[in-house]
Structure 1
Amino acid sequence: MHLHDVWFVLIAVLWTGYFFLEGFDFGVGVLTRLLARDRPERRVLINTIGPVWDGNEVWLLTAGGATFAAFPDWYATLFSGFYLPLLVILVCLIVRGVAFEYRAKRTDERWQTTWERAIFWTSLIPAFLWGVAFANIVHGVAIDRSGEYTGQVWDLFGPYALLGGLVTLSLFTFHGAVFASLKTLGDIRARARRFATGAGAVTAVLAVGFLAWTQGDGGDAASLAAAIVAVLALLGALGANLRGREGWAFALSGVTVVAVVATLFLTLFPDVMPSSLDPAWSLTVENASSTPYTLKIMTWCAGIAAPLVVLYQGWTYWVFRKRIGTQHIAEAH
């Protein structure tokens, strides 16, 4: 295996980690309007992700940086061609971070309501747009012989891409509902489980259609195996949620996220951005990669830094592992 193949796998792992962690993060943000009935319950949901949401975004920064360094042509075509959707995602992530930090700075009702709505919308929109972006990457876009995207922004919102966006939105919402039931106490915990049942059923219908379309569009035996794992894990998560096995439900919903992302990257390989104009113009792991020397240096750096980051983030989740409820929310002063 060449180093450019290794780095394709590593970038896939980084995106998988990001969607696993930020997935339930986005889902909880969506649930602040769909599940919570009052401000204390919204504060409970926000507090379940309060200590970890910013650490989850480290995976996105690392994935983007690794793509820039390992596959500069992929990075250039992706970020120029998908400029507007990625800009919207970036603005949402900035506003979302500000909302978490500034929501409680004042006790004014309008102030807090505004920031809570911002958390909802800046969780929902990226959850949808990430699915749109990756569906386009896998399906192929209009790339010419020089590696430039020649399509229009509305070309990125075809039926397959929109279905991909609905899948990630529903899957992340389900993942977040399962996480909320795992991390909360009282009535909100029971309602999170009931919500997860409905969200999981919707996700199952959408995911089966999307994965079948993906497989028919260019999948192989490996991507088919990953798709089957995704469907089985999703059904298992639904069953565990119905039985009240919240830990298993969350683990299996996480496996679903991992398997869906694996399906996309397995379908994509050895391309990194297929051209819908001419397959010969597609960007591949070979023609879009950096020099072997660059990849070698990156491999050494990643081998040293990555385990430290994983250990630190794992420790953070362990420290903040306990459940919380409205009884733990202090009165506003």
Structure 2
Amino acid sequence: MELHDVWFVLIAVLWIGYFFLEGFDFGVGILTKLLARGRAEKRVLINTIGPVWDGNEVWLLTAGGATFAAFPEWYATLFSGFYLPLLIILVCLIIRGVAFEYRAKRSEENWQRNWEQAIFWTSLIPAFLWGVAFGNIVRGVKIDENMEFVGSFWDLLNPYALLGGLVTLTLFTFHGAVFVSLKTVGDIRIRARALALKLGMVTAVVALGFLIWTQIDTGDTWSLVAMLIAVVALVGAIAAIKVGREGWSFALSGVTITAAVAMLFLALFPDVMPSSLNPEWSLTVTNASSSPYTLKIMTWCAAIATPLVLLYQSWTYWVFRKRIGTQHIAGSH
């Protein structure tokens, strides 16, 4: 296996890690409006991700940096062609971070309510747009012979990509509901479990349609295997939450995200960004990659840094592993 193939796999792993962690993060943000009853329960939901949300975004920064260094042509075409949706995502992530930090700085109800609205919308919009972006990457966009995007923003809003956005939106919200049921106690835990069951049913229908469409269009044997794993894991996650096994349900919903994202990258390979105008103009792992020497240096850096990142993130989740409820919120009783 060549180094550019290795880095294609590593970038896929980084996106899997980001969607697994930020997925439930976005889901909890969306549930602040769908699930929480009252100010105390909103604080409970926010506190479940309060210690970890910013660490989860490290995976996005690393994925973007790795793409820039390992596949500069891919990075340039992607960020120029998808400029507006990626800018919207970036603005949402900035506002979302500010909302988490500033919400509790003042006690006025309007102040806190406005920041809670910001958390909801800046969780929902990126959860949808990431699916739209990856749907277009897999489907292919208008790239000319100079490796430049020549389409428009409206070309990105096609049925396949919009369905992909619905998949990530529903899957992340389901993932977040399972996480809330795993991290809370009392009435909110029971309602999170019931909502997760309903969301799981909707997610299963939407995701199955998208995955089958992907397999028919660009899939192969390996992507089919990944699709089957994703489907079985999602069914298992729904069954586990139905019988109250939140830990198993969360693990299986994570497997669903892992297998689904892996399927997209398997369906994409060896392209990194197919051209819908002419297959010969597609960006591939070969023509879009950096020099072998650059990839070699990056490999050594990744071998040193990646275990450290995994270690401190694992430690963070271990420290904040306890369940919480409204009784743990100061002033709520």
State TM-score, norm by structure 1: 0.99
**Per-residue deviation, 1:169:** 0.2
Equivalent position of 1:115 in the other structure? 115
Matched residue, 2:308: 308
Matches within 5 A, 1:200-215: 200-215=200-215
Instruction: Give the match for residue 272 of structure 2.
Output: 272
The count of aligned residue pairs is: 332
Q: Name the amino acid aligned to 2:24.
A: F
Q: 1:55 maps to what in 2?
A: 55
Whole-angstrom distance in 2 between the partners of 1:105 and 1:177: 27
Q: Distance in 2 between matches of 1:294 and 1:2?
A: 13
Q: Is 1:228 aligned to residue 228 of structure 2?
A: yes
Between the two proteins, what is the percent identity of the paired residues?
78
User: In structure 1, how many angstroms separate the alpha carbons of the residues matched to 2:214 and 2:303?
Assistant: 33
State the secondary structure of the residue aligned to 1:272.
Answer: strand
Q: 1:148 Cα shift?
A: 0.5
Q: Give how far 1:145 is off.
A: 0.3
Matches within 5 A, 1:56-135: 56-135=56-135
Aligned to 1:174: 174
Cα shift readout 1:185-235 (whole Å, capped 9, x = no counterpart): 000000000000000000000000000000011100000000010000000
- Cα distance in 2 for residues equivalent to 1:7 and 1:286: 11
CA distance in 1, matches of 2:331, 2:156: 47
Deviations 1:125-173 (A, max 9, x none): 0000000000000000000000010001011010000000000000000
- Using the alignment, how far apart are the partners of 1:25 and 1:218 within structure 2? 30
Contiguous gaps of at least 5 residues in structure 1: none
| Corresponding position of 1:27 | 27
Is 1:141 equivalent to 2:113 in the alignment?
A: no
Deviation for aligned residue 1:116 = 0.1
Quick one: distance in 1 between partners of 2:63 and 2:208? 27
Q: Deviations over 1:92-118 (max 9, x none)?
A: 000000000000000001100000000
Q: Which amino acid aligns with 1:63?
A: A
Q: Which residue of the partner structure matches residue 322 of structure 1? A: 322
Q: Deviations over 1:239-292 (max 9, x none)?
A: 000010010000000000001100100000000000000000000000000000
Q: Tell me the equivalent position of 1:245.
A: 245
**Cα distance in 2 between the residues matched to 1:145 and 1:289:** 17
User: One-letter code of the match for 2:13?
Assistant: V
Give the aligned residue type for 1:181: S
Query: What is the rounded CA distance, in whole Å, between the counterparts of 2:61 and 2:296 in structure 1?
Result: 20
SS of the aligned residue for 2:321 comes to: coil
Rounded to whole Å, the distance in 1 between the matches of 2:75 and 2:218 is 23
Give the distance between the partners of 2:138 and 2:49, measured in 1 at CA. 31
Once residues 273 and 223 of structure 2 are traced to their aligned partners in structure 1, the CA distance between those partners, rounded to angstroms, is 17
**2:156 is the counterpart of 1:164:** no
Q: How does 1:4-43 map to 2 (within 5 A)?
A: 4-43=4-43
What amino acid is aligned across from residue 62 of structure 2 in structure 1?
T
Distance (whole Å) between structure 2 residues aligned to residue 226 and residue 157 of structure 1: 26
Report SS of the residue matched to 2:30: helix
Q: How far apart are residue 331 of structure 1 and its match?
A: 1.7
**Runs of 4+ residues over 6 Å off in structure 1:** none
> Quick one: distance in 2 between partners of 1:280 and 1:228?
31
User: Matched residues in 1 for 2:189 and 2:141: separation?
Assistant: 43
Cα RMSD of the aligned pairs, angstroms, is 0.5
Deviation sequence 1:22-42 (CA, Å, 0-9, x none) = 000000000000000111000
Separation (CA, whole Å) in 1 of partners of 2:75 and 2:220: 25
Partners of 1:174 and 1:122 in 2: CA distance: 17
